[in-house]
Chain A
Amino acid sequence: MNELAQVLKLTLHEKRDVALAIVFGVLAGLASVALLASSGYLISKAALTGQMTVLIVIGACLKLFGLGSAVSRYSERLFSHRATFTMLGNLRVSFFEKLSPLAPELYSKYRSGDLLARIIGDVESLQNFLLRVFYPPIVLLLVFSGTILFTMYFSVYTAILLAVGYLLTAIVVPAYFAWRKRRRNWKTRESRGALSAEAAEFLYGFRDLKIYRQLAGKEQQLARLAESYNEEQRSEGKEEVYSQSANGFIALLVSLAILASGAYFTAAVELDGLFLAMLVMISLGVFENVAPMAAFPAHFEESRKAAVRLESVVGEKPREKGIDELPEGSLSISAKNVGYVFPGEQRPALEDITIDLPPGSKTAIVGPSGSGKSTLLAVLMDILPASSGHVLFNGISSEEFPQESIWQRLNVVLQENHFFQGTLRSNLQIADPSATDEQLASAMEKVELGGFSLEMDVEEKGQNLSGGEKQRLAIARAILKKGEVWMLDEPVSSVDSKTGQLIYERLFEGQPDKTFIVVSHDLTGLEKMDQIIVLEDGRLIEIGSYNELMRSKGYFYGLKEIEQQVMA
């Protein structure tokens, strides 16, 4: 039950609704038992006496109980569902809160949208926790207690049998099935995950699969996974039917026992036969309340697993960070002996990097593909934590500041950028929700996207935009943010050189006082940069202005030579 403690806590947030749901649940249960009991009593009494009054009194009781039961049932449903949906909301928020600080690092580890989809499934499946796991046993306990107390007055044996019946149907049988479930360990969730991951891959990789004529093979694989998911579901469904039938069977057996014992004691004149029918009706009625317990094992196991899985994702401790705010004003960034090793890797992606980026400086990072340019940028902007050394903002270690306070000051364009389903406007407004249409349009103009309407639909992941359009949209979004440090990772690699140059010029010339750090493969135009950082294999091998580097005739000079040859 430990795993569910957190969910329980969130559920109990809604104390009032949960309490009301329980109260009404108990009332409804008791009223329906009372209804059957009084009808049983009524006919027995009627069979013996000719008194009209008794009949009328009991008849009135019947109606009262009937109405009471119906109304309580209604209220119970209302409150329990309200509580459930509130809890689900709380759960989402609390999960989001926990996930949020882990975001960039966690994603570099999983990065799969499918993992997220599974997470959502888990959150969603916890909505059954209150309705089907937490509160049926409680309601059942109270209903049975009330009923048992009542029957005790008439027949101790019946009361004892009811108690035994309760133990069997509400505790022993569900516990047994929960145990079976745990032991058999259905792979339904896992096979579901596998199927949805494979389906996502099928769709995302559709073009490549088609071109390489792998569609048929993948389709078969998908069909196989669908099959095995289906089989798991089937066998789990059967288990549930089994548990339901077993529970119902035992409840009927207990009623049989109550009838037998009642008959025995009536025959032995130890029990007034007048109550026999009533007791039988009570037992039939009270066991009707047990039905939800049949689904308990499934939901319990499901909730437990969901909670465990969620915990394993968000259970990781976020990095320890200070809570200082980054001071206003100009921002200098520097790296001191920074190194970075990706989790699970032996070879460092960055080693011993020391650089200085004063306010207003323009820096280019160049180097072969895979040399660590993107990684360096990620460490500088505190998306990845330096494994060794420090990144300093105004001379203070980045560890002292929350990530948000740093990011607030940066305009970032990553190598791959996420766009949200919506419109161009909604995607731009992420940078500045209060931006006016003129501001949005002017940002679009600056990246040569002026021809697009702000209302244009943007599909999932920006798939209906061309490669270069996506890059330019990402720049436009960053323009709207108005931070003082620009960090750009190959922002125009898919844009034609002319437009690319134009955009660069507008960025640099429009805001001379801002700091720029640009990763680029294009060596033209680097003359204008204050410094050029050359990376190779994660190490900084050269640093200096264009002229310095050309003079020293080192690596950069070599690159330039190649460029000349290629161009010539």
Chain B
Amino acid sequence: MKDLKQLAFEQKIAITLLTVMSVLKGAAMIGQAVFFVLVADGVFIKGKDFGEITPFLFGLLLAIIVRSAAGYLIGRTGVDMAAAIKRQLRLKLINSFKEDPLLSSAESHSGQKVSLLMDAVDETDGFFSKYIPQLIQSYIIPIMLLAAIVSQNWTTGLIILVTAPFIPVFMAIVGKRTKEKADEKMEQLNRFSGTFLDILQGLTTLRLFGQGKKQKDKIEESSKNFRDSTVDVLKSAFLSSLTLEYISMLSIGIIALEVGLRLVVFDNLSFFSAFLIMILVPDFFTMLKDFGSAFHTARGSVSASQMMDEEFSKERKQVVWGETELAEGKVPHLSLENLHFAYNPQFELRDVSIDIEPYSKIAVIGKSGSGKTTLMHLIAGLLPIKEGSLLIDGKPQEEIEESSWFKQFSYISQSPYLFAGTIRENIAIGADRETSRKEIDEAAEKAGISELISSLPQGYETAVGEGGRGLSGGEKQRIALARAFLKKPTIVLFDEPTTGLDLQTERVLQQSIEELSRYATVITVAHRLHTIRNADSIVFLDDGRVAAAGTHEELAANFEPYRNLLPLPQGGAPR
């Protein structure tokens, strides 16, 4: 990502407007001071009467109006600019979330990603709405003010020229020291809010384990620690503004003295000039101080933008897709050749070769943690294959067009997700086409959930998911299953479809799955013997490798681990 300043200066119109308005504001500030002084000078020194100075008062009014209006426009432009850029950033983030493969998306750190989208982007706001306008103003206005001051008394200008540079120098010195600490704090803060969220989400668990009180103490303590270290950092930040403040106050004092001296001792300065200088000088330093505090805001923005940068530049092992469209409605032949995949060195799926004929029924079994779900993800094209290939009708998966592939199949995962919405919407998401009421009814029927739905007062319109009605574990599972029956896919992947279902419901499902398999290839992960016995081929995974493959009879006869895994009655024959 380009850096924030560059993003800002790409907004040409806004920058031009800011520049013009800054010039106008500077002029108005000078005008205001001049009229102030003209009035005071008029009555105090020149002894004019009130009537004579009224025009100056109107002039003053005009200057004030211009100054406020210019200030207002500068503020608005800043807000607009911030809004435009934040919009860009958010869209870019959303897009980058979309492009993530499964590996780093839904599976982990969703909380942090949401916070990136919300907080980090908002954190950049100050950079555009405060810092940039202030930056432009402080390029322009102090110089105008200085010119005005010099025109009255060059020595004052000299004093300012000597003292003012101390401000950025000091700020740089103090700022550099604080910067690292501040970044660290920022990170600590993020971590801390993250932990607080995690604690709140797991509050029931914590209380069940009697940790509620302890957590309270922990929150208290970490809040205290956090406060102390933050105050530490702030101390140095405040120290920089202390120096700023002190230098400006001191300069004002020196200048007042100098101006006074000239008035009294040398008598070579008019009251008009002196007073004008005394009004302009504080304005000059206020501009610098404002810039100083905007600078602090900007620093927060910069570390937020660094976090976003990391997200954008994260290396993504994307699943690659191609151009070849799959024929619709035709059940493809799948074949896996020497597939390799690893999340990390601890777990690896290696040398997986399976041939899946159209319309066949494949069961994947293996101990918990042996890589069954991982294999399903790979077949589905949700995880990037590291080595080897997945051939679809003889073509490598990389050449297949993505959406024509996803159109073909359904995948009911081990923990399906219910979206906030009605039951109907949650089922209909399965088919991405218009679906009739009847179709949804049928799908629910096949999934064995229609009875429950019709017992609900609002039926299919009952809200479920976040903030909706709670459902039992098996009920959620069956709603997700209905999606598959609605879609009429040519490939179906089931990851333990009947977990947590009673036998009766399971039997209903089994029939539906049987029916599905007449039109599709069905690949099922299962733990129960009766779900896998009729499979054309059973793939036995052990620690990421295909240990054996064959029909039930073959495996039961020849493969010891298979007999051990499933509780077969003595003698090895199925009950």
Contacts and interface: CB of A to CB of B under 8 A. Distances in A.
B49 to A, nearest CB: 5
A566 B98 CA distance: 43
Nearest to B215: A96
Contact of A74 (B216, B241, B365, B477): B241
Contact of A205 (B125, B368, B417): B417
B408 to A, nearest CB: 11
A103 B242 contact: no
A103 B49 contact: no
Given A39-B278, A43-B274, A499-B367, A369 B239 contact: no
Contacts of A242: 72
A521 B44 contact: no
Contact of A276 (B40, B111, B253, B369): B40
Contacts of B527: 494-497
A433 to B, nearest CB: 8
Contacts of B72: 241-242, 245
B200 A116 contact: yes
Contacts of B61: 256
B256 interface: yes
Contacts of A99: 200, 203
Contacts of A262: 40
Given A197-B466, A226-B91, A566 B530 contact: yes
B234 A81 contact: yes
Contacts of A501: 567
Nearest to A271: B43
B139 interface: no
Interface string B168-206: 000000000000000000000000011111111111111
B368 A467 contact: yes
Interface string A101-143: 0011001101111111101100010000000000000000000
Given A205-B106, A498-B565, A524-B567, A66 B234 contact: no
A238 interface: yes
A107 B95 contact: no
A73 interface: yes
B263 A46 contact: yes
A403 B207 contact: yes
Contact of A55 (B71, B86, B209, B264): B264
A562 B36 CA distance: 98
Contacts of A496: 365-368, 527, 565
A518 B153 CA distance: 92
* A-B interface, 3 closest residue pairs, ranked by CB to CB distance from nearest: A369-B474, A468-B368, A89-B223
A204 B259 contact: no
B507 A196 contact: no
Contacts of B80: 234
A124 B193 contact: yes
Interface stretch (B140-148, B244-252, B330-338): B244-252
A92 B415 CA distance: 33
6 contacts: A43-B259, A73-B242, A117-B114, A370-B472, A416-B473, A496-B368
A108 B510 CA distance: 32
Interface string B93-110: 011011010100111111
B287 interface: no
Given A46-B264, A200-B110, A420-B198, A85 B227 contact: yes
A263 to B, nearest CB: 5
Contacts of A463: 106-108
Nearest to B367: A496
B329 interface: no
A43 to B, nearest CB: 4
Nearest to A495: B368
Interface in B340-390: 343, 346, 365-369, 373, 380, 382
Contact of A39 (B210, B250, B252, B417): B252
A207 B227 contact: no
A498 B420 CA distance: 37
A43 B275 contact: yes
A196 B117 contact: yes
Contacts of B567: 497-498, 501, 524
B76 A74 contact: no
A43 B280 CA distance: 14
A36 B416 contact: no
Given A195-B118, A202-B97, A276-B44, A459 B216 contact: no
A415 B500 CA distance: 9
A52 B526 CA distance: 100
Given A345-B469, A495-B368, 19 more contacts: A36-B282, A43-B260, A45-B260, A116-B200, A226-B87, A256-B64, A267-B50, A273-B43, A280-B40, A369-B472, A369-B502, A370-B475, A407-B207, A430-B209, A467-B414, A498-B565, A523-B503, A559-B504, A567-B574
A234 to B, nearest CB: 4
A347 B108 CA distance: 38
B444 to A, nearest CB: 14
A549 interface: no
Contact of B196 (A51, A92, A521): A92
A370 B452 contact: yes
B57 A77 contact: no
B432 A421 contact: no
Given A66-B250, A567-B575, A213 B40 contact: no
A25 B206 CA distance: 43
Given A43-B256, A44-B271, A256-B57, A208 B241 contact: no
Interface in A497-518: 497-499, 501
Given A44-B271, A368-B505, A490 B500 contact: yes
B82 interface: yes
B406 A260 contact: no
Contact of A214 (B198, B261, B432): B432
A111 B470 CA distance: 9
A120 B197 contact: yes
A89 B227 contact: yes
Interface stretch (A156-164, A246-254, A328-336): A246-254
Contacts of B65: 249
B203 to A, nearest CB: 4
A182 interface: no
A252 B250 contact: no
Contact of B118 (A46, A199, A274, A460): A199
Nearest to B452: A370
B187 to A, nearest CB: 15
